[in-house]
Structure 1
Amino acid sequence: MLPEKLQQYMPDFSMRFDLRFFVIGSALPLLLLVLAFTTGLLNTQKVIESRINNLDKVVIEPRIPLAEQEEIATASYDEQETHNTAESHEEAKNDVTKSLYYRSGNYVLPRVTAEGDTVFKEFSLSNVYPAADEMRRVDGKIAIIFIDAGAYPALLRQAQKELPNVFSYAFTPYIKDISAHIDPNYENWLMFLTQPEDFPYSDRGPLALSNEQTQESWQAALEQSIGRTKNIVGLAGYPAAKFLTTDTSREFTSAFLAKAGLGYIHGDIAPDQVSKFSSDIPMGQADLVIDSVADQNDIALKLRALERIALDSGSAIAYAHLYPETIETLKKWIVDIGSRNIQLTTASQLVK
């Protein structure tokens, strides 16, 4: 204990410590906030770098789980054959049908026969609705293709039960047991999986073709897509596809389709580029998607727009999804379509 006289000259440490604690206590939350913000930035940067380094692995919105996509992407034709029906065995007796296919490794691929027969000619259906004898005259023809068919089996069955078989169906290759879903009483297409414009935010899975791949990769992916089933008349391309924007990709696709004898519905190829495809390929263009918004009123407006295109140009092709709203709207729409001098037909009848 210091003498009282000396204590008066000593600094007041208690006050200083109190002040220091006050300053530190006030600054601590701010320091913690800065530290958390910095840590968050670093973590965000790591996530971004990780995504950039793994762009080829990103699958943002697959309709079918990635694991199942990978399984389907490597499935052979023989694995699908176990699910074929009696109709398939009857088909095997048809020499013309048998000659339309050849085996390539694990897959059975379509081809043009020596006589010039193709799967497009063999499996195209010339269905019309209403029937020709019910029409006063036809001013426009419309074809509607349900895309990504098979991803929702219950809705596929509903559409086939409640709508006439004039509607066409384009199946996603990622369906397990795809042969079991394809009904020869309908016109069947297969989706042409390609890299979308907004890749990698949207991705169509391991069988999608991209401009960064080699032609060998394109060939392998297409063989895996089409080599697991029959009764396919052609490929249906998505709108806003980035893939067919180069001469190399267009030349490859044209050669593949011509050799396979397949038709092709394209989403948005520029008119001056269409002429670069082989004249042997039956081609058509999808004019619009009627249910970008799954709302019955919006779909009805799109159908009116589709009618105007058909009446102005003679024909129109539209894509649709197997949404409950779409099925219900189409059921109402077809009731009096003949009164407007419009006839529904299958997609193959509107390609050239």
Structure 2
Amino acid sequence: MRACLLAFGLFISAVARAEALLSIIIDDVGNNYELAREVIALPGPVTVSILPRLAHSRRVAEEAYRRGHEVMLHQPMASLHHNTLGPGGLTLDHTRADLRAVLAANLASVPHAMGVNNHMGSLLTVEPTSMRWFMALLREHGDLYFVDSRTNPRSIALQTARADGVPTARRDVFLDNEREPRAIARRLGEAVRLARLKGSAIAIGHPYPETLQVLRQALPRLAGQGISLRPVSHIIAYQRSPETWHASSFPLPQVAKSSKQ
């Protein structure tokens, strides 16, 4: 693990220490309760993105919220590879009425969700009609935001959300496409570099043991590197108006420490 932290540190040691904002989303939560508990026990305000209608979706959402984490719906969407979507998936065959019903049921299964990001979706996020419908339906549920996971570089989700007035951002870095601790640490270092370069960045990881191991060690060190770990909603607010954004207007949530050993 010391080698992993060194790999992480090499990416950030040469950069000036003006505070930058970083959000880390952990996707694919809700099927395995023990792994979900490990995500919720991470040190700091990681954002927990929960798949809908799974065995532990509601329970995990309630617990994450109670512990001070921001909660998202991890919305399954059709992929170019036609991967199995699981419960609550959206496809090109869905009418607007279908989309409305599925989205409503999914949100009901993930209480306290403040936003949505796509699970898979390399097909649906390039389809203009489905994206327009989806963003309009998000607005029916209040001030939900949307994060484009960018599973397809041709995704139009971000620009469609902006055009429809949905608060939005996009993923900058996937942490764990390569499930090896040193590689994950390097990707986290890349997320930090981008946050410093742009003022903010969003990284997405998964509840893999390797990812959780790296984050448990690295997250407490971020503040010392001038990085403020933030919920996604803070990143979106900053990106919408970086000139007027002030940290005092967005107090950090107090994430309760877990008794889990």
Q: 1:157 aligns with which of 37, 45, 63?
A: 37
Shift of 1:259: 1.4
Query: Are 2:201 and 1:313 aligned?
Result: no
1:223 corresponds, among 82, 100, 104, to 104
Counterpart in 2 of 1:287? 172
Post-superposition CA distance 1:244-282 (Å, at most 9, x none): 222211210111111112111112275876333345321
Partner Cα separation in structure 2 for residue 156 and residue 206 of structure 1: 18
Aligned AA (1:290): L
* 2:197 is the counterpart of 1:197: no
The residue identity in structure 2 corresponding to 1:145 is I
Distance 1:271 1:209 in 2: 16
Q: Report matched runs for 1:136-175 at 5 Å.
A: 138-161=18-41, 163-175=42-54
C-alpha separation between the residues in 2 aligned to 1:280 and 1:253? 12
Separation in 1, partners of 2:206, 2:110: 22
Partner of 2:119: 238
> With CA pairs under 8 Å and 6+ residues apart, which has the higher RCO, 1 or 2?
2
Give 1:287 deviation, angstroms: 1.2
Q: Partner of 1:260 in structure 2?
A: 141
Distance 1:216 1:233 in 2: 22
Change (3 A) 1:218 1:168: same
* Post-superposition offset of 1:207: 2.2
> Per the alignment, do residues 222 and 265 of structure 1 end up closer, same or farther by CA in structure 2, a change over 3 Å counting?
same
1:325 aligns with 2:207: no
Write 1 or 2 for the structure with the bigger share of helix: 1
CA contact (8 A) 2:158 2:169 kept: no
- Quote the Cα distance in structure 2 between the aligned partners of 1:256 and 1:320: 27
Aligned partners of 2:97, 2:176: CA distance in 1, in Å?
Answer: 36
1:138 and 1:343 in contact (8 A); partners too: no
Tell me which residue corresponds to 1:209: 90
CA distance in 2, matches of 1:153, 1:338: 29
Q: 1:279 to 1:209 in 2, by over 3 A?
A: closer
**After the TM superposition, which segments of 4 or more aligned residues of structure 1 sit over 6 Å from their partners?**
none
Quote the residue 2:188 is aligned against: 303
Q: Which is higher, the Rg of structure 1 or of structure 2?
A: 1
- In structure 1, C-alpha distance between the alignment counterparts of 2:157 and 2:37, rounded to whole Å: 37
Q: What is the TM-score with the length of structure 2 in the denominator?
A: 0.75
Q: 187-196 or 214-223, which moves further after superposition?
A: 214-223
- Aligned partners of 2:96, 2:164: CA distance in 1, in Å? 22
Identity of aligned residues (%): 22
- How far did residue 319 of structure 1 move? 0.9
Equivalences for 1:1-352 in 2 at 5 Å?
138-161=18-41, 163-176=42-55, 178-182=57-61, 183=63, 184=65, 185-199=68-82, 202-238=83-119, 241-261=122-142, 262-268=144-150, 274-277=158-161, 278=163, 280-351=165-236, 352=240
Deviations 1:26-81 (A, max 9, x none): xxxxxxxxxxxxxxxxxxxxxxxxxxxxxxxxxxxxxxxxxxxxxxxxxxxxxxxx
Call closer, same or farther: CA 1:323–1:271 in 2, change over 3 Å. closer
CA distance in 2, matches of 1:230, 1:206: 16
Check 1:348–1:205 CA distance in 2 against 1; reply closer, same or farther (3 A cut).
Answer: same
* Cα separation, 1, equivalents of 2:33 and 2:173: 24
**Aligned in 2, Cα 1:312/1:194: closer, same or farther, shift over 3 Å?**
same
Query: Which SS does the other structure have where 1:236 is aligned?
Result: strand
- Distance of aligned partners of 1:334 and 1:156 in 2 relative to their CA distance in 1, 3 Å threshold: same
Unpaired runs of 5+ residues, structure 2, are 1-15, 241-261
Tell me the matched-pair count: 214
Q: Give the aligned residue type for 1:314.
A: G
Over aligned residues, Cα RMSD in angstroms?
Answer: 2.2
